[in-house]
Chains A and B, each alone.
Chain A
Amino acid sequence: MSTYVYGITAASHPSLPENMGGVGEPARPVRVLRAGDLAAVVSDAPDDLRPKRRELLAHQNVLAEAGAGGCVLPMRFGSVAPDDEAVTGVLVERADHYAERLRALDGRVEYNVKAHHVEEAVLHHVMAGNPEIRALAEANRLSGGGSYEQKIQLGEMVAAAVKDKEAEDAQVLERTLEPAADAVSVGPESTGWLANVSYLVERARAEEFLAAVERARTDMPHLELRVNGPLPPYSFVEPGPAQPAGTAAGGADAGAE
């Protein structure tokens, strides 16, 4: 029977959600595996586990419940160990590392902020601030929309201007929110949003952070901001790239000396 792993925490964590429903259908009950000073929040792994909505929710809910009572290092969705012994083995093997991460993240939660432009508003900005674009749009309109090439030309200019505005607004947003956070993790770029940034925030300072979000909303009404949190610190479980990850093996040191 393989073992599904939700997260790693301290063995002294006061309120782990034992017997809560986890992944699978029927939901597999949550168990706790302890080894030394650490504990893993696990359940049996269903054989046919797939990344369905209910499974993702179950993963997130177990972590939210566990995280409410103390710091938990969340696993990425879908982590399955061969058996319970493999889990406790990892806890023993990397005990120092996990203990350090738990200390570093203690009392802190993640807030994820995604922003995108309200299109009408940003197009107004772009048109108002750029006479060339305005003139071209006007010319196209007078000629019944313009030729294919003219449309492409206009669209290209607008797209470039919108992109510049996105970059500018992303910076302003980050400057507004960063002071209220301990750490920042920039998510993967995508054209779906102009900013996708996670902030590590002390629980005690959560209100301060949310106030900064409100300030950003007021200052930049042409942005749509979506804030999710408090979340388990998904984006902060691994230390920054500067930290050596284990020194023994040097397999991929291309170009080092």
Chain B
Amino acid sequence: MAYNSNTRRMTDTMAAFIGYTAKHLPDDVIDALSRLRAEEDDPLAMEIYELMFRNLELAAEKDRPTCQDTGVLQFWIKCGSAFPLMADVESILTDAVLTATRKTPLRCNVVETFDEYNTGTNTGTGAPTFWWDIIPGWDGCEIYTYMAGGGCSLPGHAMVLMPGQGYEEAVRFVMDRMTSYGLNACPPLFVGVGIGTSVETAALNAKKALLRPVGSHNENKLAARMETLLEDGINAIGFGPQGMGGKYSVIGVNVENTARHPATLGVAVTVGCWSHRRGRIVFDRDLGWEVTTHTGFSYTSCGNEASGAADESAGAAND
């Protein structure tokens, strides 16, 4: 990648934003946790919620990652075909991860497989992860950031059902995973369910579901109904925070779906922990940006005016 003021500007903004998402949860997640906390009446669960919110305050005050597991960085890029820096987006994001790792600091989590060593940079073969959607004709670029922690990645599971097993068996598949693995993955969980043809399509849909806002619903009415049924059903299990018992289990359940082969019903589940660190930033062609997930984020790169959802009271995002 050839460095110029534009690539540098986007890299710096992304490094600052990644660092910020390690230290501050998204607004929708905080709102959901606040609601769960307010309605909780189990004494131990209430004590744990109190600790969680104290930790969030302390993380903001001390400018440190809320959780030591800052994950492996994953990016879902929805890039307009006319975005001027399209060819450089992966290099920009990789550089941003390198910078954020040093400055935030992030824990070095990338281990090369087979050779089994930690690269010490949070980058490696195929890491960070990039998924692309190309939006024909658009000149902007929308980027979802996600910190895939170990604890919340562990419950991830996908399989292909026979159509005769129906959505009933897909529900069983998701629910079983909650009590076997979800319990240990830092509830209240955010649950992403994917429906499609094969394990790959189902799993990518599940990840996409996890990136959608808390409380949003699938456009398909039946899928949306399944979201509500699963949310109520998992809540009725009563994990409470940390799985130690309480009124609720989840921040929410999102379902994403694509059409399937007539002979298969692919289903996947992936979860986010209560510390669900995902962000969304949208760049325009001039690299003005808007962050929709974290109203507290502000950033001014050298020699450039910051644009977008700046909030001066929240302080600088970067060190």
The answer to whether A and B belong to the same complex is no
* Contact surface of A with B, Cβ cutoff 8 Å: none
* Contact surface of B with A, Cβ cutoff 8 Å: none
